[in-house]
Amino acid sequence: MATILPRPVEPIEEAEPSVLDDADLLGIRLGTPVRLDLLSDLKIDTQIGTIWLGTWGLLSTVLFVAGLGVTFLAGMDQVNGNPWVLVKYFANIRVSPPDGLGMAHSLRDGGYWQIVTLLWAGSTLAWAGRCYERLVRHKWRPYLLVAWLSAILLTATIWVFHPIVVGSWADAPALGLNSDLSWAQNFSVLWGNLYYNPFHQLAIFFLFGSTMLWGMHGATILATGSEGSHHEDNEIKSMSSGSEKAALFWRWTMGFNAFPKSIHDWLWWYAVGTVLSSAIGIIMTGVMTNDWYVWGVDHGTVAQYGPITRSAINQYPRPMPPPPTGYAYVPAPGK
């Protein structure tokens, strides 16, 4: 079995100058590149920095930090401004969305949530601008931008599009650690068990498939990297013995193999497929059906485990419980 040779000392690399860099008033690279030799023990690159600022990057950072600040203020508001209580109950602090589709009546009844949602929507979109602008500068094909926009599409579907379709911001997740988990649990129960949503099934298939593909592709390249299979952009042009062995391993194992280019098509589509099918599954919830278990029974995909009360299911729009308002922190008696 061949072993990986020690890595040569890497010289510090500066980005090559480009006219596109000067087109941005804020087009500067922050910091000076440093080498962290500790990282070579992990067999990963040792150079840290520099990082591009740019107008889009600054905008995205400012909006993100502003959102964090408003979230912090909302949390402080819930604990009467006591930072110790905020730390102690951090996991249970939640910034809830308002009921209905209009503006919130007050900051506490969803106003904080609406402000933070707006700020972070702006932040992710500005980051997409940064992504596009850097892709143009480095002459990449726009795969990364499409992947990032797909991720934004899923987030926007959960936070904005689905709540609009079902008529209440309250169907969106609250901001917070436990409230995030509660949303996932309650959303599934509220809409009749998401496991029977075919798009959710497809999304889980792609998600587990993504982990499996990272296992397969990562393992294949690590196993053959000593023969050069990890120089992937050049391998696509002409294959080294490492890529030949990688291809033959899978051909002999399962009768099918990818090549240095096509494996990355598989990877990209599995990852993007995850978020796209998730987005379809979320937007179809409340449109295709109000109860995915009943949908499954009606379409013969799941055995019927008990009686179904259809009169309750066909109510639309679905009556929503009012979101919890005011203070998350209620001191227990005696404390």
Partner 1 sequence: MAMLEFESVYKKPGNTLFKWVFGEDPFDFWVGRFYVGFFGLVAAVTIALGVSILFIAVGQYGDWDLWRANIPPPGRSVGLGWAPFLQGGAWQTVVILATLSFIAWGLREVDICRKLEIGFHVPAMFSLAISAWVVLQILRPLLMGCWCEGFDLSFTGHLTWVSNTGFRYMNFYLNPFHAYAVLGFFLTAMVLAMHGSAILGTYNTDKDPNVEMRREDSFWRDYVGYSIGEYGIHRLGFYLAVYTLIMSDLCILTSGTLVKDWVDFWHPF
Q: Within positions 265 to 324, which residues make up the interface with partner 1, using CB under 8 A?
A: 265, 267-272, 274-275, 296, 300-303, 305
In which element (H, E) is residue 58 found? helix 54-78
Question: What is the DSSP-derived secondary structure letter of residue 334?
Answer: T
Inter-residue contact 313 to 288 (CB < 8 Å): no
What residues between 236 and 255 interact with partner 1 by CB under 8 A? 236-237, 244-249, 251-253, 255
Contact with partner 1 (CB under 8 A) among 37, 139, 333, 335: 139
Whose Cβ is closer to partner 1: residue 107's or residue 302's?
302
Question: What is the DSSP-derived secondary structure letter of residue 9?
Answer: P
Whose Cβ is closer to partner 1: residue 165's or residue 236's?
236
Question: What is the DSSP-derived secondary structure letter of residue 165?
Answer: H
Please report whether residue 70 would count as binding partner 1 according to CB under 8 A.
no
Contacts of 85 (CB under 8 A, 6+ apart): 79, 329
- Asked, as a colleague might, if the bond just before 17 is cis with ω within 30 of 0, I would say no
Give the alpha-carbon dihedral of 71, 76, 77, 78, to 10 degrees: 100
- Measured distance CA(173)–CA(124) in Å, rounded: 17
Please report whether residue 214 would count as binding partner 1 according to CB under 8 A.
yes
Q: For the range 247-255, what are the long-range contacts, defined as Cβ-Cβ under 8 Å and sequence gap of 24 or more? A: 249/220, 249/223, 249/224, 250/216, 250/220
- Tell me the site size for partner 1, rule CB under 8 A: 99
What residues between 155 and 184 interact with partner 1 by CB under 8 A? 178, 181-182, 184
Please report whether residue 201 would count as binding partner 1 according to CB under 8 A.
yes
Please report whether residue 61 would count as binding partner 1 according to CB under 8 A.
no
Contact with partner 1 (CB under 8 A) among 65, 219, 287, 312: 219
Whose Cβ is closer to partner 1: residue 238's or residue 315's?
238
Please report whether residue 44 would count as binding partner 1 according to CB under 8 A.
yes
Contact with partner 1 (CB under 8 A) among 100, 134, 288, 298: 134
Please report whether residue 86 would count as binding partner 1 according to CB under 8 A.
no
Please report whether residue 333 would count as binding partner 1 according to CB under 8 A.
no
- Measured distance CA(152)–CA(279) in Å, rounded: 10
Give me the residue label for tokens 């998600």. Answer: 207
What is the token pair recorded at 7?
């890595």
Least distance in angstroms from the C-beta of 102 to partner 1: 31
Contact with partner 1 (CB under 8 A) among 69, 81, 102, 142: 142
Whose Cβ is closer to partner 1: residue 106's or residue 262's?
262
Please report whether residue 207 would count as binding partner 1 according to CB under 8 A.
yes
